[in-house]
Amino acid sequence: MNQHDWKQLSRIFDMVLTLPPEGRTDYIKRVCGDDKELEKKIREMLGQLEESDRFFEERLGKNEKLIQELDALIAEQNDTDDYFEGKKIGRWDIQELIGHGGMGRVYKVQRVDESGIKQTGALKVIHKSLLTPSHMERFRLEQHILSGLQHPNISGFVDSGITADRVPYMVMEYVAGENILEYCNNRKLPVEDRLKLFITVCKAIQYAHNSLIIHRDLKPDNILVTQEGRIKILDFGIAKLMDPNLYENSAIETQPGMRMLSLEYASPEQIAGKMVTTSTDLYSLGILLSKLLTGLHPFDLNKLSYKEVEKLLLEVDPPLVSKRFQGLSKSELRKQLAEERDTSVSELTGTLKGDLDAIIYKSLHNDPERRYGSVEALITDLERHQNSLPVSARPDTFGYRSRKFVRRNRWAIAAAAMIFIVLTGGIAATMWQAKQAEQNAREAEQVSAFLAQIFDGSDPNRANDGSMTARELLDQGYERALNELEDEPLLQAQILSMIGNIYSNLGLYEPSYQAISRSVELFQQERERSPRLA
């Protein structure tokens, strides 16, 4: 069962519930027509609900006001004649039909003022068969609500009046655009751009909440995006006032059993017929965010009966959106959804994990008290996520805050690390050079002292009275280096190298070769890698 099926089923089934049992069969046949599959699903849903007699006892007698609405819906579906086609309503010329539903129709209209300036609008008029007191009151309430909402991202109120046939109408700002899902998918907007649009939607809804108005029907079809990328929220037709005294004649109570909702975006409390609060809009926003980022409803509603859907939404918290996305059995669908977001499957999954998982999960908790306290709190978390700051939806652990700190300061940390490495390397090199210089100085001093002993004739067995030849001095020095410097191999290697070079200068190549060969062996033995070895 796809999303279109659920929308159609939800609308028809909600209307059928308003009828007494003996009148349902005829109505179902009339609405479903030749669609036997649709009729079968409606009857299955009714059969499951009829298991509870109390369910219907609560609704019978409370939904009489909706019976006429169902009649009107059927009448409108069978009415192919547009009784306003080609007419003028007030100062507005009707150009074309742009939408219709159970309550009435919406037309694109235009008027020309005295100065010749043209103005385009969207004119909404109640269906002629729905001119009941309750519908008239709700229509007037919608007029009051729209006229009181002055926000750049909410379709504005333009005009209102009554036709010659005594049918009320109102004119709203005309918005030419696509619904938010189509707009994002058609342009393959990445996750960050989708979040920016969603935050704009949230700010408009927060404005409505601050004006004590709950939308109650937030879904993509009611959120349009213009070609310039401007958000416009439409249809406050089933909006609820948090203060029933806000407008004159506005205390319209939604009776128990009158479920004014779109099933796919409805909150658990709407489905259960409980009190609706601003948290209801938060839940719908959570579903919208899930579909914007993954293309999926938080729950897999395919092949579920109405009763199973109701039980699922009322009793089960949704899975994390990243797991919902990963759990798709069709890899091609995952790839398509990722491509619509200008990314790969693995990158999209990685983006969803963590903050976005937690934010959407908190928005969709089936207990309203455990959702965000306001749309403003949701906006704050989304903006903190964009700025790599910790979000309230996740546990405030040291590791989490540290990762966030590193991420938002990664360039500064990288630069600091580079500076640290350079400084550390410089200090290490300086210290090594100083140590090496100290060692070289010590070795040079030892070499000088040893050579001085040789050429001063310091052999205790024989004084140098000038009768010793250079060859004899070198031979004596060679023997002493071999015998006395065994515990200092590097110093011994240096001395032998110098003695070997002196032998060579004197033309004594054989002892020169022996001394230098032994020097090389000592250097290699001590793993000395220096110019001296070369």
Following CA atoms 146, 150, 152, 154 in sequence, which dihedral angle do they give, to the nearest 10 degrees?
A: -20
**Beta carbons of 375 and 282 less than 8 angstroms apart:** yes
Does 390 lie in the same domain as 423? no
Q: Is 256 helix (H, G, I), strand (E, B) or coil?
A: coil
Q: What is the pLDDT of residue 65?
A: 47
Catalytically annotated residue among 34, 82, 93, 217: 217
What backbone phi and psi angles, to 5 degrees, belong to 116? Answer: 90, 5
394 and 503 part of one domain:
no
Distances (CA, A) of 2 to 186, 267, 304, 336, 343: 20, 19, 11, 17, 25
Residue 53 has a pLDDT of 43
Same-domain pairing of 246 and 321: yes
> What CATH number does residue 303 fall under?
1.10.510.10
**Is there a single domain that holds both residue 235 and residue 323?**
yes
Cα(45)–Cα(10) distance, integer angstroms: 11
* Residues in the chain, total: 534
Strands (E) across 165-282 are located at: 168-173, 177-179, 213-214, 223-226, 231-233, 240-241
Beta bridge partners of 154: 233
Q: Following CA atoms 128, 131, 134, 137 in sequence, which dihedral angle do they give, to the nearest 10 degrees?
A: 90
pLDDT along the chain (534 residues), means of 10: 60 64 73 81 72 46 48 50 72 85 78 82 79 73 81 90 83 91 95 96 94 87 92 80 55 44 80 85 95 93 78 87 91 93 94 94 92 94 91 76 62 67 73 68 64 56 58 78 77 81 83 84 71 62
Range of the domain at 70: 3-78
Q: Based on the residue annotation, tell me whether 217 is a catalytic residue of this protein.
A: yes
- The reply to whether 468 and 481 lie within a common domain is yes
Angle subtended at Cα 362 by Cα 193 and Cα 197, rounded to the nearest 5 degrees: 15
Last residue of a domain, one of 361, 388, 408: 408
Give the single-character DSSP code of 369: G
- What angle (nearest 5°) sits at the alpha carbon of residue 468, between those of residues 497 and 507? 45
pLDDT of res. 505 = 81
Adjacent-strand bridge partners of 171: 123, 159
- Number of domains, the chain: 4
Residue 117, pLDDT score: 82
> How far, in Å, CA of 294 to CA of 328, rounded?
11
Q: Of 49, 78, 107, which residue sits at a domain end?
A: 78
In this structure, are 226 and 270 located in the same domain? yes
In a domain, 83, yes or no: no
Which residue(s) pair with 241 in the sheet? 213
Q: Please check whether residue 247 is in contact with residue 148, taking contact to mean a CB–CB distance below 8 angstroms.
A: yes
Rounded Cα–Cα distance for residues 379 and 256 (Å): 32
What is the model's pLDDT at position 60?
A: 42
Render 159-194 in DSSP notation, one character per residue.
Answer: EEEE-TTS-EEEEEE---EEEHHHHHHHTT--HHHH
Regarding whether 31 and 59 lie in a shared domain, the answer is yes
Same domain, 99 and 195: no
Q: What is the pLDDT of residue 436?
A: 64
**Residues 327 and 306 both lie in one domain:** yes
Q: Quick one: 130 and 275 in the same domain?
A: no
Bridge-partner residues for 238, per DSSP?
Answer: none
State both tokens at 132.
């009941």
Residue position matching structure tokens 């017929």 = 273
Q: Are residues 28 and 44 located together in one domain of the fold?
A: yes
